[in-house]
Amino acid sequence: MSYESYFSERREQQLEELKEFLRIPSISALSEHKQDMVKAAEWVAGKLAAAGLENVKIHQTAGHPIVYADHLHAPGKPTVLVYGHYDVQPVDPLHLWETPPFEPTERDGKLYARGATDDKGQVFLHIKAVEALLKQEQQLPVNVKFCIEGEEEISSPSLLTFLNEKQELLATDAVLISDTSLIEKGKPAISTGLRGLCSLELTINASNTDLHSGTYGGGVPNALHAMVELLASLHDKQGRITVEGFYEGVPELTAAMHEEFEKQKFNEEQLKKTLGLGNLYGEEGYSFVERTGARPTLELNGVWGGFQGEGTKTVIPKEAHAKITCRLVGQQDPQRILDAIIAHLHANVQQGVKLTVKPGEKARAFDMDPSIPLLQTAADAYEAVYGTRALFTKDGGSIPIVETFSRQLSAPVIMMGFGLPDENLHAPNEHFNLENFDKGLLTIVEFLKRV
């Protein structure tokens, strides 16, 4: 039986299984979902065992469980480690969901639910692809290991410890990840780069209480004024970040890299229309895909303080707050970037107020040479199924563990995504296009056979 026929016959059954997975509210960031995290790990372990994987084990950690399994019966053949995550983002704001986030719903060839594309749907593809190979051929063309964790959405703290302690268990010739997307419908992509990350939260305190703006206005510091002024100092009018030393370690884009980005033929006008924007914004001299794939950023994620209720309250707020994240590229060191930003903030804050800074996440950028044979094999596998060879792209997001996998396991990381950029990952109405569910299964089978 062809693999097309195999998956076609089992499509409805497999979609029902995926819906079971999606009904589990495995939100790693919220402590009230701790038991749901255990349930999701057990579900993954059960499906791996049912697929024919061996040595299936749920490893307890200081946080959420990690599921491991393998099938090592291809002597002399490469070993591929499949990595993914079963945790999902919180669902807020709930009122913007057209259907409940943990009640999977099919509409217009798409499956809607939290985790549908990030990353439960894509993890599920790998389990079912391996199951198909074993059922069809009673053996795998390569050795396979699975490592599925429950903390990717909170920066994988337990996985770092697990990787250090279980490096021999996870030893591999390549790491295979599906947690990225195609360029657009019908145009597959293999990400050869991910931006790094660092974050911080800052608080400005002025007076020891909120003050009446008639009695004190114009005569005392205003925490919100000080915050707005300070945040405005972080960029110039050309969109460049003004923090001293911020661009150290950032590689300049070569002519060849510009050309590779141009191959994507990205439609900026369509993006503006889709997002309801009059103009795009960013560092001068770069296209949208270059800004989001190969240039670093400093973004405000939240700014608040003072009166937030209905109507007017003539108050001078005593404090103001902001959250900042940076996406990093090349050899930028997250700690050095944090230190530079903190120094800039202290040097530029308004006199008469107190600034407190709390550093957050840190992750290095990841970069892979697209000429590596396994990456070329992956591009060929996409072409065999989609009829279009995958382009090699740089992804603007961050998957912190990818760089660690590559470095500690000394193995190339192959990011074969099957999502689409507009599938609302991390947002209301997240969904997975079922065309890529079908083609993703075939592509993974094709890749493993070609390896």
Average pLDDT over residues 233-241: 97
Give the tokens for residue 235: 């960029």
Q: Which residues partner with 357 through β-bridges?
A: 202
Is residue 115 packed enough to be buried (19+ CB in 10 Å), middle (13-18) or exposed (0-12)? buried
Residue 178: predicted pLDDT: 97
Q: Mean pLDDT, the chain, as a whole number?
A: 96
Nearest-angstrom CA–CA distance, 84 and 177: 6
Q: Contact at 8 Å (CB) between 156 and 83?
A: no
Per-residue pLDDT reduced to its tens digit, 17-36: 999 999 999 999 999 999 99
Confidence of residue 72 (pLDDT cuts 50, 70, 90): very high
Q: Which residues partner with 22 through β-bridges?
A: none
Confidence of residue 401 (pLDDT cuts 50, 70, 90): confident
Residue 307: predicted pLDDT: 94
Residue 257: predicted pLDDT: 85
Nearest-angstrom CA–CA distance, 392 and 262: 12
Confidence of residue 383 (pLDDT cuts 50, 70, 90): very high
Give the tokens for residue 40: 């999701």
Average pLDDT over residues 182-206: 95
pLDDT at residue 396 tops 90 = no
430 compared with 260, residue with greater pLDDT: 430
Nearest-angstrom CA–CA distance, 162 and 224: 43
pLDDT at residue 395 tops 90 = no
pLDDT at residue 263 tops 90 = no
Average pLDDT over residues 370-398: 94
Residue 326, H or E segment: strand 319-328
Q: Contact at 8 Å (CB) between 364 and 328?
A: yes
**Percentage of the chain lying above the pLDDT 70 cut:** 100
User: What's the pTM value of the predicted model, to 2 decimals?
Assistant: 0.84
Three-state secondary structure readout of 192-259: EEECEEEEEEEEEECCCCCEEHHHHCCCCCCHHHHHHHHHHCCECCCCCECCCCCCCCCCCCCHHHHH
